[in-house]
Chain A
């Protein structure tokens, strides 16, 4: 059974800190505990989006104990090949594309809520311009939508490698902490995609859950397309 695996730099598993051996070498699950816990975890194409990291590998599994169509758990596994297309450049590209959608969505939301001037101003900005203008604008807007404007700016800044703009204490954001946490391009891609999907969600006409699902679906397709993967069944 062939599947995928995201790993942090140097073939290190994010949760275990375990460094995978070179491709071709099988490793066994620990065996003592519940195999669903100690087993080798891998991903279907559908599952990639939730587990983005620095390195993408294909892997082979044996003895599948669980498969929920996103995550597979197996008794044994080995890495096959590095998916070279997924590198720092593609990860940041992906992050930037997600962030761009975040900006579009918040501009649309501003328009819908009658904040024409702000929508106009931000709508005409490029990424850098948006990042610079957002805090000042956010301070003038109602708290809720102001926060969304800032989230769009902060995710953009993180994706583009720009400094996050200073803002009033009242508008302080967790994303400032994210930006200060030494995230790798893979980690940035994972974070930005997630935050954008969840901030866009609030603006979706069919409600929050639908909003998240819709944005994640776009992101999933975009990722698959960029990686040249066949459409998930």
Chain B
């Protein structure tokens, strides 16, 4: 995760931890709101159904609350929360008989020829084989406001929702949460090569969603 591993808990986190232990409800709500959406997306790698994933996330927070007094800050607060999530999600997956390891799911989703863009966007044969057959216009031709709008955020979130589960988990941890590659691989138990393919396909899908959103706006 962002932040050095030599210092377990950062000053900002120390403050949040203190607030939580003080019973500061607003601090707790902020924390829950900040992390739950990504936690839900990652939980869906384990249990696949959103409703179940939400239960897992809820259970995670309950465990966090129960564990607050005993938390020794040997890891960062964030790491601790995510580890609890993984434990809850794995347990729930076992209960639901979803026993396919994530590494296998990842390998499955990473297999095949999909380069992230539909083959019909390229010439199939002839002198231009493999070259773009349609234009790709720069997005910076469009006014900046559109790129940061809440509608675009909604379009992106929807795109994340429609991804296959391991792609969703990888792009959430890598790009939404900003974790480095090795941590994502370790956390999910996924090989680096597969992680990269999943990330690529997920990013390409997100790009396509943004493209569609921007195109719709210009009609």
Chain A interface residues (CB < 8 Å from chain B): 147, 172-174, 176-182
Contact present for B128 and A179 (CB under 8 Å): no
Q: How far is the CA of A182 from the CA of B140 in the complex (A)?
A: 10
Q: Which stretch of B73-81, B130-138, B168-176 is in the interface?
A: B130-138
Contact present for B134 and A180 (CB under 8 Å): yes
The smallest beta-carbon distance between A63 and chain B, in angstroms, is: 27
- A-B contact list, 7 entries, CB within 8 Å: A174-B123, A174-B133, A176-B133, A177-B131, A178-B135, A179-B135, A182-B138
With contacts defined as CB atoms under 8 Å apart, how many contacts are there between chain A and chain B in the complex? 32
B127 at the interface (CB under 8 A from A): yes
Residues of the B chain whose Cβ atoms lie less than 8 Å from the Cβ of A173: 128
User: What is the interface of chain A mostly: helix, strand, loop, or mixed?
Assistant: helix
Q: Please name 19 further chain A to chain B contacts, defined as beta carbons within 8 Å, in addition to the given A174-B123, A178-B135, A180-B137, sorted by A numbering.
A: A172-B123, A172-B133, A173-B128, A174-B128, A174-B131, A174-B132, A174-B133, A177-B133, A177-B134, A177-B135, A177-B136, A179-B135, A180-B134, A180-B135, A181-B132, A181-B136, A181-B138, A182-B137, A182-B141
Q: How far is the CA of A182 from the CA of B141 in the complex (A)?
A: 8
Closest to B134 in A: A177
Q: Which residue in A147, A177, A182 is a CB contact (below 8 Å) of B132?
A: A177
Q: How far is the CA of A164 from the CA of B21 in the complex (A)?
A: 68
Residues of the B chain whose Cβ atoms lie less than 8 Å from the Cβ of A178: 132, 135
The 7 closest A-B pairs by CB, nearest first: A180-B135, A174-B131, A174-B128, A177-B132, A182-B137, A181-B135, A177-B135
Closest to B133 in A: A177
Residues of the B chain whose Cβ atoms lie less than 8 Å from the Cβ of A181: 132, 135-138
Closest to A181 in B: B135
